[in-house]
């Protein structure tokens, strides 16, 4: 595995490779990230990962300074997983960077409370694509809105990179894997699996109850467990507009505060 630290090196090292698959990350890797590497191996001949904690996607009073930085451990995990190249740029990557606006669906869901977040995401991902020129890029579907935004953004930009979503990886108790899980207190870590359990209850009852009843009942259940929903929505998975009660394909999406930690999750019904 080779570590790349700047744009010039990237263009020189990667110029002769085809069928490259990129997994962009901010480090602090867990099995969810490593599943994206496995997906990258399926679609590409050369597997790339990037590790960069992007300040552009953190808003005021968000946790940029506290975001876990575990580079040495991350590199070991990537090497064991069979990654070929890792791009670990310095802050120089932001020098003269052009800022982009995310598509309008960025204003929904997480975008309501984090209005500049997705602009920062598409800006840095575009920069990574320009430097690394991947044929494929793999994104986890835990942040389904981000996946949809990136796919739409790069389709509109006519980039050749194919955007691929990879399924959510969960702990044995159902909690979606996330770097933020490490920030939960031991008590809240015991409560956190109730998020997925309730989403699964909605999925299992969606043919028998109205969407509004399912949401209202779930919000009450969350509050009883000191889980505070920022949003809980049943949506069209392509537009993120509210789904109709008789729609067959829906996205059940949630963001909550558990203690001081913000968690997201979703279930997609096709």
What is the pairing mode between strands 162-166 and 136-140? parallel
Structure token digits, residue 52: 């960069």
Is 30 a catalytic site residue?
no
Q: Which two tokens stand for residue 220?
A: 């009450």
How many other C-beta atoms are found inside a 10 Å radius of the C-beta of residue 207? 9
161: phi then psi, degrees, rounded to nearest 5:
-65, 130
Distance of CA 37 to the CA centre of its chain: 14
Q: What count of other Cβ atoms lies within 10 Å of the Cβ of residue 115?
A: 12
DSSP 127: H
C-alpha to C-alpha distances, 255 to 51, 79, 228, nearest whole angstrom: 25, 33, 9
DSSP calls for 188-200: HHHHTHHHHHHHH
Supply angle C-alpha 122, 183, 89, rounded to 5: 40
Per annotation, catalytic residue among 33, 117, 211, 228: 33
Residue 14 burial by Cβ neighbours in a 10 Å radius (0-12, 13-18, 19+): buried
Cα–Cα dist 181/192, whole Å: 9
Nearest-5° angle of CA 241, CA 58, CA 231? Answer: 30
User: Hey, which residues are catalytic here?
Assistant: 33
């Amino acid at each position: 595995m080779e570590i790349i630290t700047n744009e010039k090196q990237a263009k020189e090292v990667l110029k002769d490779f085809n069928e490259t698959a990129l997994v962009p990350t901010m480090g602090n890797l867990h099995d969810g990230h490593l599943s994206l590497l496995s997906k990258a191996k399926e679609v590409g001949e050369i597997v790339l990962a990037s590790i960069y904690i992007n300040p552009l996607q953190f808003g005021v009073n968000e946790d940029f300074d506290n975001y876990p930085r575990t580079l040495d451990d991350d590199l070991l995990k990537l090497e064991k997983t069979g990654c070929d190249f890792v791009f670990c740029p310095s802050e120089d990557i932001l020098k003269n960077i052009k800022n982009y606006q995310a598509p309008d669906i960025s204003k929904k869901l997480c975008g309501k409370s984090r209005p500049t977040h997705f602009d920062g995401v598409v800006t840095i991902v575009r920069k990574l694509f320009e430097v690394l020129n991947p044929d494929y890029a793999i994104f986890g579907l835990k942040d389904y809105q981000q996946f949809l935004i990136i796919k739409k953004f790069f389709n509109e930009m006519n980039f050749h990179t194919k955007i691929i979503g990879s399924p959510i990886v969960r702990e044995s108790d159902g909690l979606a894997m996330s770097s933020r899980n490490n920030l939960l207190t031991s008590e809240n870590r015991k409560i956190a699996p109730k998020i997925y359990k309730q989403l699964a209850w909605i999925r299992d009852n969606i043919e028998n109850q109205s969407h509004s009843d399912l949401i209202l009942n779930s919000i009450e259940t969350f509050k009883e467990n000191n889980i505070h929903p920022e949003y809980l929505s049943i949506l069209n998975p392509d537009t993120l507009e509210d789904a109709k009660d008789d729609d067959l394909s829906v996205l059940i999406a949630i963001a909550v505060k558990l203690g001081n930690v913000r968690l997201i999750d979703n279930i997609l019904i096709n």
